[in-house]
Amino acid sequence: MKVVKKYDNIKVLVLGLAKSGLSAGKLLHQLGAIVTVNDGKDFDENPEAQQLLALGVKVITGSHPTELLDEDFELVVKNPGIPYDNPMVVKALDKGLPVITEVELAYQISEAPIIGITGTNGKTTTTTMIAQVLNEGRERQFAYLAGNIGKVASQVAQSVTEENVMVTELSSFQLMGIEEFHPQVAVITNLYEAHLDYHKNRGNYISAKWQIQKNMTPSDHLILNFDQKELRDLSKKTRASILPFSRKDTLSNGVYIKHGEIFYQEEKIMNSADLGVPGEHNLENALAAIAVAKLYGVSNAVIKKSLSTFSGVAHRLEYVGIVAGRKVYNDSKATNILATETALHSFENQKNQVILIAGGLDRGNDFESLEKSLAGIKAGVFYGETKNKLMKTAQDVGIQLIEKTDVLDEAVQAAFDFSEPGDIILFSPACASWDQFTNFEIRGDKFKTLIKNLEKE
């Protein structure tokens, strides 16, 4: 870990805990800052706050009193999930205080260079692919996963050395809070419409994602999906060197697919059919991973071996197994419509065998854009706050077998009842989990538990 003196005796407010706030609070305390932590959860139910208090950190819980900012803080480290229209954040910005997220701290202390990955969909799979390829065949770990993938970046950064690399998944929320953050290699998988409840409009969302290249230079590489015109246009607005990838076009200066073969700058890497996970979206993820691997000098044989054995990531079109002849997939990470469209498209040739389970938090949107992808499936089972909207969409495209339930437990049973051997049960919610579950991981684990229970019956 780099020696950082800038926080010595500096008053810092850490706003919001969970894993990122806990890590930021501990790190700043270690760096000599005078830390105050403020979290909305009551102290008795707040193990993170209890840990920090035990270290001697000042802790204020149960509410977010704006008068707290009347103290002479010099910096606010904000949990990424707290929006910028939160009264505490608004007051901090009005006072001219820098408001950062903990990935900025990670960059400042990391001895290892950073590979940053962002985008609307495919971030976690691409991040995991990259780390697996870079670590393939090594006796010791070289690439360390970090960031929005569940491994807090500022914690991972404390243990990596200049001989490692941090492969860091970055959300738009995290990227809004950077100042000096500077990846040597960055990937934008794709850009679609998402998180509008947080960003208010698409323009703000795209601007947040584009922050990833803010401090990049011509010696750095920015890997972009050139199947999207928006990213082709944005590529002209950065100082970084562009390395494009495309599933549709031949790119002599990038990574592309031609006649079922994957090429890097006209050099064949592998057959696209050899990729270990299904779906065109995963081909795009693999192209991005190959681009990174080639920049790091990984041989074609190692790339092929790694990607051929890649089995996916938990909750991202994860193959759960076969239950009474039904293939089961857990795609709990599908927290928006586009992700579910992508999942359905992965089974295009078997659509009439798909029983879709979807539903969750109602963010106020409709599901008309899902109609084309939904049409032709065998059955739909919908639960949670959005069950009625999803049922109407399914009815509008002529799906005959439809069931709605209140909870996931009932939805899984209904899907199994609709199915027969040879069918595919796909859990791809198209909604956030927060109506019934704390996060998509807990939701996905619950789904897998329910499936295991069916196996036992």
How many Cβ atoms from other residues are within 10 Å of residue 55's Cβ? 12
Q: What count of residues does the chain have?
A: 457
Burial label for 45, CB within 10 Å (0-12, 13-18, 19+), is: exposed
Cα–Cα distance for residue pair 386/362, rounded to 1 Å: 5
Number of CB atoms found within 10 A of residue 448's CB: 18
Q: Tokens in use for 414?
A: 């209904």
Specify whether the CB–CB gap between 275 and 268 falls below 8 A. Answer: no
Residue 160 corresponds to which tokens in the numbers above?
């990596």
- Which residues make up each annotated binding site for ATP? 119-125
How crowded is residue 15: how many other Cβ atoms within 10 Å of its Cβ? 24
Helices vs strands, H then E, count in the chain: 17, 20
Q: Rounded to an integer, what distance in angstroms lies between the CA atom of residue 8 and that of residue 32?
A: 4
Instruction: Show binding-site residues.
Output: 119-125
Q: Three-class SS string for 147-204?
A: ECCCECHHHHCCCCCCCCEEEEECCHHHHCCCCCCCCCEEEECCCCCCCHHHHCCHHH
SS3 for 285-302, per residue? Answer: HHHHHHHHHHHCCCCHHH
Judged by DSSP in three states, 262 sits in strand
Q: DSSP readout, 366-393?
A: --GGGHHHHTT-SEEEEEGGGHHHHHHH
End-to-end CA distance of the chain: 52
Residues 184, 189, 192, 196, CA torsion sign: negative
Distances (CA, A) of 302 to 267, 269, 270, 421: 15, 10, 10, 37
Tell me the C-alpha distance between 178 and 77, whole Å. 10
